[in-house]
Structure 1
Amino acid sequence: MTGAHRLSPLRAEAARVTQTPLRDLVADDPDRARDLVLRVGPMHASFARQRYDRAALDTLFRLGESFDFDGRLQALFEGELVNVTERRPALHTALRSDLVDSQVARVSHGMAREAREAMRAVVDAIVASGVTDVVSVGIGGSDLGPRLAVDALTRAGDARIRVHFLSNVDGHAAHRVLAGLDPSRTAALLISKTFGTQETLLNGGVLRGWLGDDSRVYAITANIARAAEFGIPETRILPMWDWVGGRYSMWSAVGLPIAIAIGMDGFEALLDGAAEMDAHVLREPVRRNLAAWHALTAVWNRNALDLASQAVLPYDERLRLLPNYLQQLVMESLGKSVHIDGSPVEVDTVPVWWGGPGTDTQHSFFQALHQGTSTVPCDFVGVIRADAPYRDNHDALLSNLLAQSEAFANGQDSDDPHRQYPGGRPNTMLLLDALTPRALGALIAMYEHSVYLQSVVWGVNAFDQFGVELGKQIANTLLPAVRGETEADDAVTRALIEEIGRQR
């Protein structure tokens, strides 16, 4: 049976459920607020304001069981070739947990442990050297995860070493990052799986020239030979492996910027939180599995309710980069239109993920979320206990978080159409007890597993990203044309290059 036919029962459930306003679904089921919740370690998740009732949710659970979520998760953890198009396992779980008894998982976990010992030595060496600043150079998966974690977990004034990130090939980005830094007290990390990424190599060259001394340049890569050609000795190269995709790699030596910023023990706690989520996801059945609930809810919103967009709204300034991180994790993983066997996908796959931190975004795009013509489901992420000393501010933040979730779901009637709120905006509430390395690790791991289970339903490969390659290939062929050495084949591009030349 095709994926489309297997998803068809959701349509019938949606046609029934959408006859009842979301606020009535909640009001008519007094136990819903306490039953449609799960707690895993430092996370509390409430699905009580999603637009399904218990019968529809039961249909979703049966769908997950029919797709053998339990077995597919076991295959992921054991190191089967889930990345079929590239003939590789996806063993990011082995970087942080040792939960299955397969040889490939055990070997991979052992390699990860050895790499962490090497990371600890590098962190100690950098701290002992008197370095005050580290510039991490990478892009995509080599940048977004570490950047999020450093921004979220570095407490103001506590950092022994300041970590800066450089990703964009735009020279203005390098100029801004390096301004005010002392090259004699700065180290550089060049992070690239292939060590062939144009942006990273160009920025790495800028940084190496600015430092004037290669003794404080480190590499994290799977291509040691290329890093050595760049001039970095093997003693300053940490490993990556082809069985870990870039957007799943922050748990590896790619997380070195995190370890430098918060200490190696903090980095280990991040991994422990992810491992705790791994254990839950691997061992709990679909009906008590947080990642499965989250994945099935995403499928419901996309394929039953036809919602083409998804917002993520962290109500903690330290999580302001979470939407950026999830854009890549979700959209690069699930932005596919063919099944693993190459046949066309018959249903819509990934929605557009976007968002921003509250309360700032309440004064920008929330108008469209409340009263616009498109319904956008939301993931709210809140933190119960704050670290900042301003209790009144945090109370106001939490009240806004709770109020927006309630307003989206319930709306408000009014005789004035301009002041009427339709409600019916489904949302999930994810609450962290505190923003600790352990909690952040659990949150990110939950999203990783949700993405994988969505890919199982849609029959796509969550671990390749061929869609990013075409533009890069064309850019390489156009670089000589931009320099005036050749002429572009495409007429529009040729005219644009001519205009660039006239204005230079």
Structure 2
Amino acid sequence: MSGSINDRLSQLSALAEQSSNMRDAFDNDAKRAQRYSVKACDITLDYAKNLIDETSWQALQQLAADSKISTLRQQMLQGAAINNTEQRAVWHTRLRQQDVSGLVLDGEDIGQQISDCRARMAALVDTLHQQQYLGYQGSAITDLIWVGIGGSLLGPQMAVEALTPYHCSPVKLHFAGNIDGAVVSDIVSGLNPATTLVVVASKSFGTEETKQNALAIRQWFTDHGADKSAIAHHFWATSSNIAAAAEFGIEQKNILPMWDWVGGRYSLWSAIGLPVALMIGNQNFQQLLAGAEAMDQHFFNAPFAENMPVIMALLGIWYINGHHCQAQALLPYSHYLRLLPSYVQQLDMESNGKSVDRDGHALPYASAPVIWGDAGTNGQHAYHQLLHQSALAVPADFILPLKVKHPLQDQHSRLAAHCFAQTQALMQGKTLQEATAECLASGMSEQQAKALAPHKVSPGNKPSNTLLLPELSPYYLGALIALYEHKVFCQGAIWQLNSFDQWGVELGKQLSGPIYQTLTGNDSHTFDSSTTALIKTFLAAQH
């Protein structure tokens, strides 16, 4: 491959046509598994079941070397405004540093701000754990409602779910995200406002879903006799808009900071991680940060050929731009990781789902796959049929913790067997000859075997990665999340786009305003015929 990055990405298609059969590759190379595996932070990545050989892999490595990964990585560390459309630094990795002393950005002592925020979070968690935070009627807080959406919700909700075995909080946690009124109605129906704390998570304190849910919960407090001072005592916020939070009725001492150099989908490591700290305790939350920092150090220092985020990024580029795959399956073989695909959906698709480069020029190639998936083995009884026998090629990441906290070891062994078998089946498939022999061995006649065998054929040669975690602990979850963060960063660098803005989500928000005004009779607007018909149908149903 030669020429510019654009040319090299275009040349991937021709190179992909030369991809060998994986069955043959394993038969001809006894060390293939060893050759295509890497370990970082005690996490193992087996990427041997991919459509690569030494020629294609060297070409991909050269693509990484010639890209802006190294440059942008260094600029990110230095606090440069690599989020160029918003003129913001990208410093979420700093939030998980153990030593933040001396961190200065634009003349501000960011290190001290991070330390202060950590201390305030820890103090609140300790007070709640010790049941010393008393509500407006003198009883200890028993429930906390976390109000947020997008990055303010997906990260903490996923991490809280993933670390269920580590829960140690006497306070129950409830997440309110969707603007659907059923969410708040269902949550508050079983709670007592006098023993409920509310945290409103919104950088702007203007996000419609978050604001409306917060208003509904505040009204619930008022309906139960809470006055202004009671609401001020029961409501906290994490926001950068202190004025708006104060106008809502939240005291400044109850507002934890958010910084413009932290994007929402990268904010788990900030005060947005408060629900995680609440549920697993401060020490375990520090382990979550430590695991992410360890993966940061691996990404910052390991050569590209041994760099796990870079390797995963290159494989994704290979399938999107070389093999023209449009989707990526994320398949955690862990019940507790079942929300991980939803989390990575935002991380990947909101970051790199772009059609212009950093300078606003149209991209001549595809970027970002559609991310989807669910916990194994549930998916095996649903969409794995498509993975195995469809003509579509869907690269997949399989994730398995090696050790578990529960006592049902035999079931964990069965789970692992299914995980490994799925990657093996995707790779080797089943030929017509093998399917025919299988039918005959079951006692079928030759005519019956000939009729059924084609339906049992799986083409195989379908790629997958396998990630093995020593266990699903706070440390390894932190490392896993950081791994996917850096993978997305690397792909954005290769595609030459800005992975840290999300202007595409604005249009729908803008258009919803006039529609809402029309639905509520406060104003009248002109729409296309389809939207007008939908509005009329909705209004008719309200009478």
Shorter chain as normaliser: what TM range? over 0.9
Q: Give the aligned partner of residue 77 of structure 1.
A: 77
Contact 1:78 1:102 in 2 (8 A): no
**1:187 matched to 2:205:** no
Structure 1: distance between partners of 2:35 and 2:101: 31
**What corresponds to 1:227 in structure 2?**
245
Matches within 5 A, 1:37-116: 37-97=37-97, 103-104=104-105, 107-116=109-118
Q: For structure 2, list consecutive stretches of 5 or more residues without a partner in the other structure.
A: 134-139, 437-452
- The separation in 1 between residues aligned to 2:128 and 2:379, in whole angstroms, is 38
Counterpart in 1 of 2:344? Answer: 326
Shift of 1:476: 1.4
The question of whether the paired residues in 2 share the 8 Å contact of 1:94 and 1:108 is answered with no
Contact 1:301 1:307 in 2 (8 A): yes
* Inter-partner Cα distance in structure 1 for 2:298 and 2:110: 21
State the SS of the aligned residue for 2:105. helix
Secondary structure of the corresponding residue to residue 197 of structure 2: strand
- In structure 2, what is the equivalent of residue 196 of structure 1? 206
Please point out which of 458, 468, 476 is paired with 2:513: 476
Q: Which residue of 1 aligns with 2:119?
A: 117
- For 2:304 and 2:468, how far apart are their aligned partners in 1? 21
Is 1:150 the counterpart of 2:188? The answer is: no
| Residue equivalent to 2:473 | 436
CA contact (8 A) 2:128 2:171 kept: no
RMSD: 1.7
Amino acid at match of 2:516: L
Report the Cα offset of residue 357 of structure 1. Answer: 0.5
Q: What is the match of residue 530 of structure 2?
A: 492
One-letter amino acid matched to 2:413: D
Kindly indicate whether the alpha-carbon contact (under 8 Å) linking 2:100 and 2:115 is maintained by their aligned counterparts in 1: no
Is the 2:357–2:496 Cα contact (8 Å) retained in structure 1?
A: yes
> Is this contact kept in 2: 1:42–1:434, CA < 8 A?
no
Counterpart residue type for residue 154 of structure 2: L
- Is contact 1:145–1:250 with CA below 8 Å preserved after alignment? yes
Mark the runs of 5 or more structure 1 residues left unpaired by the alignment. none
Q: SS state of the match for residue 526, structure 2?
A: coil
Q: Deviations over 1:430-449 (max 9, x none)?
A: 11100011000000001101
For the 8 Å contact 1:70–1:285, the answer to whether it is kept is no
Counterparts in 2 of 1:385 and 1:343: CA distance versus 1, 3 Å? same
Measure, in 2, the Cα distance between the counterparts of 1:361 and 1:348: 27
Cα distance between partner residues in 1 of 2:346 and 2:167? 30
Distance in 2 of aligned mates of 1:485 and 1:283 = 58
Matched, 1:359 2:369: no
* Alignment match, 1:335: 353
Residue 332 of structure 2 aligns to a residue whose secondary structure is strand
Distance in 2 between residues matched to 1:285 and 1:157, nearest whole Å: 37
Larger radius of gyration: 2
The amino acid of 1:3's aligned partner reads I
SS of the residue corresponding to residue 144 of structure 2 reads: strand
**Hey, what's the Cα distance between the residues in 2 that align with 1:329 and 1:280?**
20
Q: Name the structure 2 match of 1:384.
A: 402
2:457 matched residue in structure 1: 420
Quote the offset at 1:13 in angstroms.
Answer: 2.4
Deviates further, 307-316 or 102-111? 102-111
Q: What's the % identity of the aligned pairs?
A: 39
Give, in angstroms, the shift of residue 349 of structure 1: 0.6
Residues in 2 aligned to 1:89 and 1:228: alpha-carbon distance in whole angstroms: 27
Q: Deviation of residue 2 (structure 1)?
A: 4.6
Q: What's the CA shift string for 1:465-489, capped at 9, x where partnerless?
A: 0000000011112211010222231
Distance 1:157 1:93, change over 3 A: closer
Is the contact made by 2:102 and 2:109 (CA closer than 8 Å) also made in structure 1? no
The answer on whether the counterparts of 2:37 and 2:44 sit within 8 Å (CA) in structure 1 is yes
Alignment-mate amino acid for residue 60 of structure 2: L
Contact 1:33 1:48 in 2 (8 A): yes
Letter in 1 for 2:465: T
> How far apart in 2 are the matches of 1:496 and 1:487?
15
Deviation at 1:126, TM superposition (A): 2.7
- CA shift for structure 1 position 8: 3.5
Cα distance in 2, alignment partners of residues 100 and 341 from structure 1? 35
Counterparts of 2:246 and 2:292, CA distance in 1: 33
**1:454-474 CA-partner distances (Å, limit 9, x unpaired):** 001111100000000000011
Decide whether the 8 Å contact of 2:152 with 2:202 is kept in 1: yes
Deviation at 1:210, TM superposition (A): 2.1
Q: Is the 8 A contact 1:310 1:354 kept in 2?
A: yes
Number of equivalences: 502
Residue 243 of structure 1: SS of its match in structure 2? coil
The answer as to whether partners of 1:32 and 1:48 remain within 8 angstroms in 2 is yes
Contact 1:99 1:279 in 2 (8 A): no
Greater mean alpha carbon deviation, residues 20-29 or residues 265-274: 20-29
Q: How far apart are 1:56 and its partner, in Å?
A: 1.1
Report the counterpart of residue 140 of structure 1 in structure 2.
150
Question: Whole-Å Cα distance in 2 between the matches of residues 404 and 90 of structure 1?
Answer: 38
Q: TM (normalized to structure 2)?
A: 0.90
Residue 448 of structure 2 corresponds to none
Return the match for 1:317 from 327, 335, 341. Answer: 335
Equivalent position of 2:137 in the other structure: none
How far, CA to CA, are the matches of 2:169 and 2:414 in structure 1? 28
Structure 1 position 465 matched with structure 2 position 502? yes
Q: Displacement, 1:176?
A: 1.9
Q: Is the CA contact 2:312–2:487 (under 8 Å) kept in the aligned structure 1?
A: yes
Change (3 A) 1:162 1:42: farther
SS at 2:165's partner residue?
coil
